[in-house]
Amino acid sequence: MLAFDHLVIAADQPEEEQNHFEEKYGIRGFRGGRHETWGTYNYLAHLKNHSYLEWIGIEDKETARKSDNPLIKQLVHSLSVNQKGPIQFALRTNDMDQFLDYWDKEGIPYKGPFPGSRKKTDGTLLQWRMLFPDIQGHSLPFLIEWEGNNRPDDSHLISNTSFTSIEVGLGNFPNTRRLFEKIYHMESPEHENSTHCTWSLENGSLIAKEESDLRVKLEDIIL
């Protein structure tokens, strides 16, 4: 089963935005690190049930602009049109190769996998892979796989707040819902009607609606 891994939040000043969030909600954050090959850097806030929030900003505009990583392309575009806030999210898998085989078999177009890495503040190296479904006209969550399941959890920094659900808007709901189920190999929804449905994730719920902005619920907090 897939899990919600993290929410990507576009920010001109990641530290400032994360500090504002911490002051408002009491969820502690810290500097994550630099992605030198993408020209970006981030601040993070870890949640209790193996998920986190990522405020990501651009450090080197030229490097970011030249990146072929779809997420960095989306970030560059979003900040260029002053679209700050949640822009994307990642679903975690422990077997990306299985999805690659499945997408190849089903003829689902994709980009990647893209390798990623950064050094933590203690000097240890985090590594991961990212895989993006490439369906024209749709902005779909990407898959992430952490090397050796070595996720960026620092036990002393994990908040007592848990991820509860993520809500995504799907235009042309019936057709796009079927596309969503096919791409992520989802089982039948737990709840569904003509305008929305809910699937179980390993650590919460994924809710798809006919019309909705990207929203995340952390217990009693809605982003």
Backbone angles phi, psi at 20, to 5 degrees: -60, -40
**How long, in residues, is the chain?**
223
What stretches of 92-153 show up as alpha helix (H) in DSSP?
A: 96-106
Predicted confidence at residue 222, as pLDDT, reads 87
Predicted confidence at residue 155, as pLDDT, reads 66
Predicted confidence at residue 152, as pLDDT, reads 66
Q: How confident is the model over 114-171, as pLDDT tens digits? A: 999 887 767 778 899 999 999 987 889 999 999 986 676 666 678 999 999 999 887 7
Backbone angles phi, psi at 56, to 5 degrees: -120, 135
The identity of residue 128, as a single letter, is W
Average pLDDT value for residue range 176-180: 85
* Contact present, 64 and 76 (Cβ < 8 Å): yes
Residue 42 CA to residue 40 CA, distance in Å, equals: 7
∠ Cα 94 130 66 (to 5°): 170
Q: Which residues contact 105 (CB under 8 A, 6 or more apart)?
A: none
Q: How confident is the model over 62-98, as pLDDT tens digits? A: 999 999 999 999 999 999 999 999 999 999 999 999 9
